[in-house]
Amino acid sequence: MRPLADRMRPETFQDFLSQNHLVGKGKPLRRAIEKGDLHSMVFWGPPGSGKTTLALLIARMTDSVFIPFSAVTATIKEVKRVMREAKSQRKLFGKDVIVFIDE
């Protein structure tokens, strides 16, 4: 069974409360997501503010492969491995890849 936090995670922007200034209809980030015009991003905020959820929603809305990665104890070797994996996934599935590096 999935953890409660995962089961309760918002699945649409309508469910993504308190971040309407970012992902509300007509807002710049929402427009970029809908157009598929995305680039590297840095999400900053305290734990529980929705950084991971936002990244997951973007991946879902853009039909991208999502690769989460914790950089807390990672070595350069591990970061390079994840980047190779992302490149391989892109080639294998023909989709964009979102590498979510969590602190």
Write out the DSSP string of 17-44.
TT-HHHHSTT-HHHHHHHHT--------
Question: DSSP alpha helices (H): ranges in the chain?
Answer: 4-8, 20-23, 28-35, 51-61, 76-93
The pTM of the full predicted model, rounded to 2 decimals, is: 0.85
Is a pLDDT exceeding 90 seen at residue 82?
A: yes
Count of domains forming the chain: 2
CA separation (Å) from 13 to 44, 81, 100? 18, 32, 19
CA distance 97 to 95: 6
Domain with 69 in it: 65-103
Judge if 52 and 12 occupy the same domain: yes
pLDDT at residue 15, rounded to an integer: 82
Judge if 7 and 57 occupy the same domain: yes
Dump pLDDT digits (tens) for 13-63. Answer: 888 877 888 888 899 899 999 998 998 999 999 988 889 999 999 999 999
Judge if 8 and 54 occupy the same domain: yes
In which residue are the tokens 């809305």 written? 61
Judge if 80 and 58 occupy the same domain: no
Q: What is the average pLDDT score of the chain? A: 90
Judge if 1 and 40 occupy the same domain: yes
Judge if 4 and 53 occupy the same domain: yes
pLDDT at residue 88, rounded to an integer: 97
